[in-house]
Amino acid sequence: MINELLLQFSEWLYATGGSRAIEESYYLYNWIETTHVLTIMICLGMLAFIDLRMLGYAMPNVPASTIAARLNVPMMIGFAIMFITGLLLFYAKPVYTNQSIWFRIKMVLLVVAFFNAIRFHRHMKASESTWSHEPRAPLNLRISAALSLGLWAGVVTTGRLIAYDWFHCYRDLPAWLGAAAGCVAE
């Protein structure tokens, strides 16, 4: 049911003029993709340094709260650019992307990363004054930081794999995988 609805929505999106214009433009599509990928440097670059600081591997002599607060701004700017270009990429290829198992895993990982970030911030705000100058954050924050690095590594990997159609609906897939990838019986 949900897969039918998502497919209908994707097909409707595919039929819009803007979607066709982006996908059919070599330069437009590829520059949106390039921006999406290059923003990894801003968004995930800052994220990696915040997480590495919590784990004690980067800038241990700079207060953790300073790193987290200062790098948060460029990270969110990068995230905004990534989010917008990501939406445009989906808009350009909605039917293909909706039925990509990698895209679907990527979305799940993003949701988990979102809740992990909220948990991280809550614990950080509650306790930072007591340990900010220590080289490593307390264990529960280190767990969040390690989880964040792992989740975003997963987001990058599954994001890259969207380009590959190894498990697409026109392949011979087991029923559970077909359902997970959003395939709909004709």
Partner 1 sequence: MELLPFFEWAETSFLGYIGKNYGGVYATFGQSVHLMALAVLGGSVLIADLRLLNIILRDVPSEVVADQAHKWFRIALVVILSSGIFMAAAVAQRMYYNDFFWAKMSALLVGIIFVFAVKRPLLKGRHDEINPIVIKLVAVASILVWFSVAATGRWIGFSG
Which residues make up the interface to partner 1 (CB under 8 A)? 26, 30, 33-34, 37-38, 40-42, 44-49, 52, 58-59, 61-62, 66-67, 70-71, 73-74, 152-153, 156-157, 160-161, 163-164, 166
Distance of closest approach, residue 51 Cβ to partner 1, in angstroms: 10
Distance of closest approach, residue 173 Cβ to partner 1, in angstroms: 16
Judged by CB, which is closer to partner 1: 7, or 149?
149
Judged by CB, which is closer to partner 1: 73, or 111?
73
Return all residues near 29 (Cβ < 8 A) that are at least 6 apart.
22, 23, 89, 92
In whole angstroms, what is the distance from residue 32 CA to residue 13 CA?
Answer: 18
Distance of closest approach, residue 41 Cβ to partner 1, in angstroms: 2
127: closest CA among 118, 136, 138, 117?
Answer: 138
Judged by CB, which is closer to partner 1: 78, or 94?
78
Judged by CB, which is closer to partner 1: 112, or 184?
112
Q: How far is CA 35 from CA 24, 30, 61, 151, in A?
A: 18, 9, 33, 21
Alpha-helical regions (H) of the chain? 2-14, 17-24, 26-38, 40-55, 64-92, 94-98, 101-131, 139-161, 175-180
Distance of closest approach, residue 163 Cβ to partner 1, in angstroms: 8
Return all residues near 43 (Cβ < 8 A) that are at least 6 apart.
75, 78, 79, 81, 82
Judged by CB, which is closer to partner 1: 122, or 133?
133
Distance of closest approach, residue 185 Cβ to partner 1, in angstroms: 28
